[in-house]
Structure 1
Amino acid sequence: MKPVEQYFLNQKEPYQSIMLCVRDSILSTLPEAEEYYSYKIPFYRIDKKPLLYLNILKGKTYVDVAFVQGILLEKAFPVLKNNSNRKQVRSLQIYSLETFNHNEFVSILKEASKHLKASKKAWFV
């Protein structure tokens, strides 16, 4: 079993269900995305550049879907938050499957992928 798969299976509910749903959305929307495990969390990259990662922040009650170039997306998608005053990363906070807006998430994924493919490097700030 891959480390990233083990990570998902080790999560408690509702985080496990949310993460598996998000994972399915990512892989079905962006088949070119590569899933990998780094810094003890799942990452997704395109053309060897990190697109996003999934995390459960200590003391929080949501899954943090963090877009590496999120700063480029925040005007078009105000649902993306800037936790801890991060310079570049912006996050979608998913509290439950019932509140997860799949269509909006797919739109964010497509736009994030477009920006990443057009950039020369993932971390620019």
Structure 2
Amino acid sequence: MKPVDEYFFNQKEPYQSIMLYVRSVILTTLPEVEEKYSYRIPFYNIGKKPMIYLNILKGKDYVDVAFVQGILFERRFPVLKDDNKRKQVRSIQLRTIEDLDHENFVELLHEASNSLSKSKKAWFI
């Protein structure tokens, strides 16, 4: 079993179901994305640049769906929040699968992918 699969299957519910659902949406929406296991969490890269990662922050009760260049999209996609005072990363916090607006998320994935494809680097701050 790949490390990223182990990561998902070792999560408690409801986090496991939420993460597997988000993973399926990402992989279906962006077939060019590369799933990696880095820093002990799943990352989704465009080329060699990280675009999004999934995490459960200590002391929090949600799955953190974090966009590396999220600061660029927070006005257009107000679902993105600045959690933990991160400079560039913005994220969607999911407590249930139903918290995810599927159509809005797919649109955000496309926009983030297009933006990252055009940028020279993922971390710009």
1:91 partnered with 2:91: yes
Equivalent residue, structure 1, for 2:61: 61
**How far, CA to CA, are the matches of 2:47 and 2:85 in structure 1?**
27
Name the SS of the counterpart of 1:35 in structure 2: strand
Amino acid at match of 2:112: A
Runs of 4+ in 1 over 6 A off after TM superposition: none
Amino acid at match of 2:50: P
TM-score, normalized by length of structure 1? 0.98
- The unaligned stretches of length 5 or more in structure 2 are none
Equivalent residue, structure 2, for 1:120: 120
Name the SS of the counterpart of 1:124 in structure 2: coil
**How far, CA to CA, are the matches of 1:105 and 1:62 in structure 2?**
17
**How far, CA to CA, are the matches of 1:65 and 1:32 in structure 2?**
19
**How far, CA to CA, are the matches of 1:9 and 1:120 in structure 2?**
34
1:50 partnered with 2:53: no
CA-CA distance at 1:99 after TM superposition: 2.0
CA-CA distance at 1:97 after TM superposition: 1.1
1:74 partnered with 2:74: yes
**How far, CA to CA, are the matches of 1:100 and 1:84 in structure 2?**
21
**How far, CA to CA, are the matches of 2:40 and 2:81 in structure 1?**
22
Deviations, residues 28-85 of structure 1 (Å, cap 9, x unaligned): 0000000010111000001100001000011111100000000110110011001111
- The unaligned stretches of length 5 or more in structure 1 are none
Equivalent residue, structure 1, for 2:40: 40
How many corresponding residue pairs?
125
Equivalent residue, structure 2, for 1:106: 106
CA RMSD of aligned residues (A): 0.6
